[in-house]
Amino acid sequence: MSDPINTPRIVVTGRIPEAGLQILRAIDGAEVWAWDDDAVIPTDVRNDQLATADIAVTLLTDRVDAAFLDAAPNLKMVANVAVGYNNVDVAACAARGVVVSNTPGVLTDATADLAMGLLLMITRRLGEGERLIRSEEPWQWGMFMMLGTGLQGRTLGIIGMGGIGVAMARRARSFGMRIIYNNRKTVDAAIESELGATLVSRDELLTQSDVVSLNCPYSEATHHLMNAETLARMQPSAFLINTARGPIVDEAALVAALQSGAIAGAGLDVFENEPAVHPGLLACDNAVLVPHLGSATVETRGAMAATAASNVSDVVSGSAPRNPVAH
């Protein structure tokens, strides 16, 4: 418990759904200022607002670093509207007594749905097929036209068996896939039994999987987890799916693997230097690329905003946030 924050000034640095704003505006005595444009807030405008802010509600496009914190001398909380928080220097916040929260759980199903969508798109060559139709180039159905790969009996290897990894496994099981996973610890026995899932070493996962799905958090330990060496351990017929964080994959190495046929294809929702995408990926027909849509449903984005706002309400009342991020 900490002291309640009387008449808090809350700055929302990016456009968020109304569900979150309603909760913030209902906080007793709160003054809420919110940037209401899809464009990233200009730094000078943001800093002017942060100068008197008690709480900042931030998006993944905000880099909450020393410069951000210097602009907000009265800041007591950063409520990040995301499950990931690699945009936030948590240690710097802790050193200044600034509480950090995130929004886990609410985007699990949406992200798993998208991961499964990427898997189907790349294995059945749906992106290539749509590009062909839109090009208006002549085409003729044939027995060997754009043959893809079925999923029944194939092995899905999940790196990071948290909530999204488990949800992805459930979806893959319904397509008849076998599940193996690599995680810091074994998942609950009941979940393993339900999914028929087996914990394996990372090397075993890479060499045995027909599809490798990245569902792990981003950290120093997972930076470029998929690089030239690890990609080379995958089967030439295997596919890579990434809905976690872009820098988990060395994009230059992935381009080389896709171009050489070291792996069969990749489905990516996140990118190493987002929003920039490695130009080599754009030229790869065996890559499906979408712009960070993992949580992009009306329901999920609303729930994320509401969760972030509820974290703020907790801290204003003097309680710990229900979703704290620990240093």
Q: What is the value of pTM for the model shown? A: 0.92
The model's pLDDT over 98-154, given as tens digits with 9 standing for 90+, comes to 999 999 999 999 999 999 999 999 999 999 999 999 999 999 999 999 999 999 999
Reported confidence tier of residue 1, pLDDT bands at 50, 70, 90: low
Residue corresponding to tokens 């810091």? 184
Residue corresponding to tokens 């936030």? 88
The model's pLDDT over 62-111, given as tens digits with 9 standing for 90+, comes to 999 999 999 999 999 999 999 989 999 999 999 999 999 999 999 999 99
Q: Give Dmax (Cα) for the chain.
A: 71
- Residue 275: left (phi > 0), alpha (psi -120 to 50), or beta? alpha
Across the chain, mean pLDDT equals 97
**Burial status of residue 37 (CB atoms within 10 A of its CB: 0-12, 13-18, 19 or more):** exposed
Is 241 strand, coil or helix?
Answer: strand
Cβ atoms of residues 217 and 247 within 8 Å: no
Is 313 strand, coil or helix?
Answer: helix
Q: Strand pairing partners for 212?
A: 157, 240
The model's pLDDT over 253-275, given as tens digits with 9 standing for 90+, comes to 999 999 999 999 999 999 999 99
| Residues with active-site annotation | 245, 274, 292
d(CA 179, CA 95): 42
Q: Write b or e for each residue in 188-200: b if 16 or more Cβ atoms lie within 10 A of its Cβ, otherwise e.
A: eeeebeebebeeb
Is 287 strand, coil or helix?
Answer: strand
